[in-house]
Amino acid sequence: MNVTKNEIKDRQLHIEDYLQMVSAEQKEYAEASAHSRITENNHIITGFQTDELLEQILQSDNLNKAYKKVKSNKGAGGVDGMSVDELLTFLKDNQKKLIQKLKDGKYKPNPVRRVEIPKETKGKIRKLGIPTVVDRVFQQAITQVLSPIYEEQFSENSYGFRPMKAKLKELTSRSNGWGNEYRALKLKQFIRGWVNYFAMADMKQLLRSTDEWLRRKIRAIYWKQWKKIKTRYRMIKKFGMPEWKVHELANCRKGIWRSAIMLNSVLTNKVIVSLGYMSMADYYLKICEN
């Protein structure tokens, strides 16, 4: 029996033109829906008050908490040059004006500042987009109100758009009970869909570094499946390693990351491809050629 306890009504935050700069290239509207959770019997339970979300976001307590969070995070200023240390004085002088602009839908955030920082690998850089400190306060205020509403709705196995989680982590999790062949199939489906969607972007370097990270996860999965020494010995020998190296790696007690160099020589990139796993960078280059 399907029972709806409260009628679900989608409500959009009326902050026109308020674009959250997720990165230098990405932006999206802040949108909130009435909190609902669907149970196993398809019952829909609404447990949060979602009326007047904008008013909740702009409450003084919520804004003060957001300011303290931004202050504690420190970080560089945005395009306006304002530092975190200057933020409190600015907010005291302009708080009422800023809040009224948000209520009227006339507040417009500043563009993000592009910053290039060096990676650990020589010659490589990482591009970051840094919002202004004022924009960060309002973004944090929105997050504080919306996160409690949406977080409870996520399944334990849902990783999309959640802090510190990603789709690739879900697909390479050892707790999902998948076999290696099925895992390789799911990864292929995701990679094909993702690369085809973003094929117009110049992301060769990004996909190469993602490939390296993904291969490390795959090696860790296989290594932890080979729990016993004799299993490790048999599987490593199967890949044609010298006897002394097979013995050394099979009896290794250092843990997955400390023995990574030896493991890389066993489960090479070619071996991983032969096991059914797809390279994101290779597939991207193939798509671009066509």
Matching residue, tokens 């400390």: 258
Contacts of 30 (CB under 8 A, 6+ apart): 13, 15, 18, 20, 142, 146
Contacts of 155 (CB under 8 A, 6+ apart): none
- What three-state secondary structure class fits 106? coil
**If pLDDT is split at 50, 70 and 90, which confidence band does 142 have?**
very high
Q: Which tens digits make up the pLDDT trace of 13-53? A: 333 333 333 333 333 333 333 344 444 444 444 455 566 88
Q: At 37, is the secondary structure helix, strand, or coil?
A: strand
Q: How far, in Å, CA of 32 to CA of 15, rounded?
A: 11
Average of per-residue pLDDT across 114-125: 80
Q: Which two tokens stand for residue 146?
A: 């919306």
Return the structure tokens found at 289: 């050629």
Model confidence, pTM: 0.44
In total, the chain counts a number of residues equal to 290
pLDDT of residue 156: 54
- What pLDDT does 227 receive? 75
Instruction: Say how far apart CA 92 and CA 185 lie, in whole Å.
Output: 56
Whether 134 shows a pLDDT value over 60: the answer reads yes
User: So what's the pLDDT on residue 2?
Assistant: 42
Instruction: Calculate what percentage of the chain has a pLDDT beyond 90.
Output: 22
Highest mean pLDDT among 94-98, 181-185, 193-197: 94-98
Q: Which residue do the tokens 């070619």 mark?
A: 270
CB-based contact 110:79 (threshold 8 Å): yes
Per-residue pLDDT tens digits for 233-279: 887 777 777 777 777 777 777 666 666 667 777 788 888 888 888 88
pLDDT tens figures, 49-101: 566 889 999 999 999 999 999 998 888 899 999 999 999 999 999 999 999 99
18 close to 29: Cβ distance less than 8 angstroms: yes
Q: Work out the pLDDT band at 133, boundaries 50, 70, 90.
A: very high
Which amino acid belongs to residue 125? Answer: I
